[in-house]
Amino acid sequence: MQLSKQDLQASTDRIYDTIVIGGGVGGLSAGIYLQRYLLDTLIIDKGKARSFWMQELHNYLGLPPDTQGRTLLKHGKDHYLSLGGDSLNGYVEEITDKEDFFEVKVKIGRQNSIYQVFRAKYLIAASGIIDNLPFLDDMQNVYEYAGYNLHVCLICDGYEMKNKRVGVFGKNQRSLEVAFSLGWFTPYITLFTQDMFEVSSQFRDRLWEHEYKLVEKPIKQFIGENHQMTGVKMTDGSVIELDAGLISMGSQFHSGYLSGLNLQTQGENLVTDKMCRTSHPRIFAIGDLKLGLNQVVVAASDGAVAATGIWRDIRRERGVKRRSDIESAVLV
Ligand SMILES: Cc1cc2nc3c(=O)[nH]c(=O)nc-3n(C[C@H](O)[C@H](O)[C@H](O)COP(=O)(O)OP(=O)(O)OC[C@H]3O[C@@H](n4cnc5c(N)ncnc54)[C@H](O)[C@@H]3O)c2cc1C
């Protein structure tokens, strides 16, 4: 059920089999599998998943290519709740390992917030990442196009940029390297530094060899209409026309609550085994947070894998039910 601030006693009193942190694609998929394995599950989600910003999901088997991320999330959550799983809107701040179970401290409500502690034997970290966007004085101007034809993911949207004039917006020389992979889809590439960093002479030579342009002036604003970016206006008043953009400015990882647990990471990604288990035997990590491809289909698959790993562990520990267990319970 959907839990509310006023109605938490039964949930704080019990020990869930699993708490899933994050109710995006990966978390909801895990929740559906866990409930179908008859395991008690609580999904805690702060909202506005990365998938929520996805305007069109072009590459998911069986779904129309104009499916919005928010539609996917709504169906996923309805499905999960229909299986009897618990769901809470809240922000996980901290996790404490009590050896037999975890304590999960949650801030509930943006205004008049309350703090509650929930407990579970297993955890699934499904809290994802969020993309850094170009920083302009008027950020509303960036939000107008980001996720539409100002893309953040080459794997998701390279196809949409086929043979188009594309601007690549980076935060350093390394992040601009994505232009060379984008070159698979289009040769019409302009790279923007926004006057924030220098590029080396070797890098300039590579751009010249590929016939890519480099613009090192600061950007004033993106231009366009109806969420379709048509170019950028520089602070000196000049305009560069574009058909699409690709932002490559890194991302923030939603993993602060794990900081006390000393889990193995590579860069900021959590390292897991093939069952999505982290270096802690009872903590699993799925989706964008873990090492691997940042794709909806992968996050959904990870959810299934992690839930199955947890079910196997619990099944081995508890054993299967016998007929006599059920019949004697009925007699009591
Ligand atoms: C604009 C855009 C377009 C994309 N297009 C595609 C596409 O076409 N195809 C494709 O396959 N992929 C696409 N992606 C990538 C896809 O959205 C991600 O790979 C996918 O959403 C990852 O799922 P996830 O469950 O790991 O994370 P998310 O879907 O981001 O879910 C994580 C959830 O955890 C919550 N959370 C974070 N921290 C906390 C906390 N401390 N406490 C509680 N909750 C927390 C977040 O609010 C969020 O709801 C796109 C992404 C973007 C941004």
Residue 246 and residue 314: Cα distance in Å, rounded? 44
The single-letter DSSP state of residue 257 is: G
Rounded to the nearest whole angstrom, what is the distance from the C-alpha of residue 331 to the centroid of ligand 1? 48
**Residue nearest ligand 1's atom 25 by CA:** 26
CATH class of the domain defined by 9-130+251-331: alpha beta
pLDDT reported for residue 322: 84
Closest CA to 248 of 206, 201, 302, 294: 294
Q: What is the pLDDT of residue 300?
A: 98
Is 127 close to ligand 1, i.e. is its CB under 6 Å away? yes
Q: Name the residue with the closest Cα to ligand 1, atom 29.
A: 24
Structure tokens at 48: 């506005």
CA distances from 181 to 57, 164, 288 (A): 21, 14, 20
* Residue 27 Cβ contacting ligand 1 at under 6 Å: yes
Contact 123, 270 (CB under 8 A): no
Pocket test for ligand 1, best of 33, 42, 54, 161 (most atoms within 8 A of CB): 54
Residue of the CA atom closest to atom 21 of ligand 1 = 51
Decide: 89 and 47 in contact? Cβ < 8 Å: yes
Ligand 1 in reach of 165 Cβ (< 6 A): no
Show me where the domains of the chain are located.
Answer: 9-130+251-331, 133-248
Instruction: Tell me the backbone φ, ψ of residue 247, rounded to 5 degrees.
Output: -90, 130
Q: What is the pLDDT along the chain (332 residues), one digit of tens a residue?
A: 999 988 899 999 999 999 999 999 999 999 999 999 999 999 999 998 888 889 999 999 999 999 999 999 999 999 999 999 999 999 999 999 999 999 999 999 988 999 999 999 999 999 999 999 999 999 999 999 999 999 999 999 999 999 999 999 999 999 999 999 999 999 999 999 999 999 999 999 999 999 999 999 999 999 999 999 999 999 999 999 999 999 999 999 999 999 999 999 999 999 999 999 999 999 999 999 999 999 999 999 999 999 999 999 999 999 988 888 778 776 66
Candidates 19, 32, 33, 51: which one to mutate for ligand 1, based on the most atoms within 8 Å of Cβ? 51
Ligand 1 centroid distance, CA of 81 (Å): 20
Which CATH class for the 133-248 domain? alpha beta
Report how far residue 332's alpha carbon sits from residue 323's, in angstroms, rounded to the nearest whole number: 15
Matching fold, domains 9-130+251-331 and 133-248: yes
Please give the helix or strand (H or E) that residue 318 lies within, else none: helix 296-318
Answer whether 254 contacts ligand 1 (Cβ < 6 A).
Answer: yes
Helix (H) or strand (E) holding 315: helix 296-318
Q: Residue 247 and residue 179: Cα distance in Å, rounded? A: 10
* Helix or strand (DSSP H, E) at 125: strand 114-125
3-class state of residue 10 by DSSP: helix
Helices (H), ranges, 151-200: 154-157, 173-176, 178-182
Our answer on whether the CB atom of 287 is closer than 6 Å to any ligand 1 atom is yes
Q: Is 270 helix (H, G, I), strand (E, B) or coil?
A: strand
pTM of the predicted model, to two decimals? 0.95
Residue 331: the pLDDT is 65
Cβ(28) – ligand 1 distance below 6 Å? no
Distance in Å, CA 29 to ligand 1 centroid: 13
Rounded Cα distance between 259 and 268, Å, is: 11
Q: What is the pLDDT of residue 326?
A: 76
Please list the residues that pair with 43 across neighbouring strands: 20, 87
22 close to ligand 1 (CB < 6 Angstrom):
yes
pLDDT at 328: 78
| CA 53 / ligand 1 centre spacing (Å) | 8
Nearest CA to ligand 1 atom 2: 54
What phi, psi does 61 have (nearest 5°)?
Answer: -50, 125
Per-residue model confidence (pLDDT) at position 330: 67
Distance (Å, whole) CA 175 – CA 178: 6
